[in-house]
């Protein structure tokens, strides 16, 4: 399918389509569903996604050049190597405009972003950069966070229940009222340089 036909797409379903390597420029998608589509190495340039859903899609190494997202949900999708800081985020956000469920976000960057109430539920988020950001009240439940970096990150009220492999320095991050599973929370003591004995 060629997306050059029109500039606005309303409540359309895109299924089993290959957009890999394409530049998708200045398009508006409102209420659209993308299922089993391949966007790997594509570029979203100045596109607007409103109330859209990506299900079982491959968006690895997608470039997000000044595109905006509002109430967009990614399910069972692959989003490896994305620099989310290249998207156009509004100055004031009260709730995260993007949510991820059962998706792979390895090698991605959310550096310095303010995405309160971000949802990363049952995801793989290895080597993801969360430094200098505000992810207060976010949901990281059941997510693998091996190698992900948190520094000067606001995680107050965030839920890490059943999350695993995180490395969070309690002195360098704001963790007030954050939730952690009891056994996994022992990892938080690593920053104290103490020795635990049975």
SS3 98: strand
Q: Which residues contact 24 (CB under 8 A, 6 or more apart)?
A: 3, 42, 43, 44, 45, 47
**Tens-binned pLDDT, residue by residue, of the chain (198 aa):** 667 779 999 999 999 999 999 999 999 999 999 999 999 999 999 999 999 999 999 999 999 999 999 999 999 999 999 999 999 998 766 678 999 999 999 999 999 999 999 999 999 999 999 999 999 999 999 999 999 999 999 999 999 999 999 999 999 999 999 999 988 888 888 777 777 677
pLDDT of residue 14: 96
pLDDT of residue 2: 67
pLDDT of residue 191: 75
pLDDT of residue 187: 84
Q: Note if the pTM is more than 0.85.
A: yes
Q: Is the dihedral of CA 100, 102, 103, 107 positive or negative?
A: positive
**Distance between CA atoms of 63 and 174, rounded to whole angstroms?**
30
pLDDT of residue 103: 98
Contact 137, 114 (CB under 8 A): no
């Amino acid at each position: 399918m060629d997306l050059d036909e029109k500039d606005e797409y309303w409540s359309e379903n895109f299924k089993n389509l290959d957009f890999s390597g394409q530049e998708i420029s200045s398009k508006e998608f409102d209420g659209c569903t993308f299922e089993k589509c391949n966007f790997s190495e594509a570029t979203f340039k100045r596109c607007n996604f409103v109330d859209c859903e990506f299900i079982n899609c491959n968006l690895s190494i997608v470039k997000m050049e000044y595109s905006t997202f509002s109430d967009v949900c990614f399910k069972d999708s692959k989003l490896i190597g994305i620099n989310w800081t290249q998207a156009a985020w509004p100055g004031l956000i009260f709730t995260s405009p993007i949510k991820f469920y059962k998706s792979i976000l390895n090698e991605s960057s959310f550096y310095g972003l303010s995405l309160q109430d971000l949802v990363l539920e049952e995801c793989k988020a290895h080597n993801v950069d969360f430094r200098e950001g505000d992810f207060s009240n976010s949901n990281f439940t059941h997510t693998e966070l091996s190698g992900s970096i948190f520094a000067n990150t606001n995680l107050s009220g965030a839920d890490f229940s059943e999350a695993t492999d995180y490395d969070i320095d309690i002195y360098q991050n704001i963790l007030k009222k954050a939730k952690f599973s009891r056994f996994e929370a022992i990892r938080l003591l690593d920053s104290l340089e103490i020795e635990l004995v049975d």
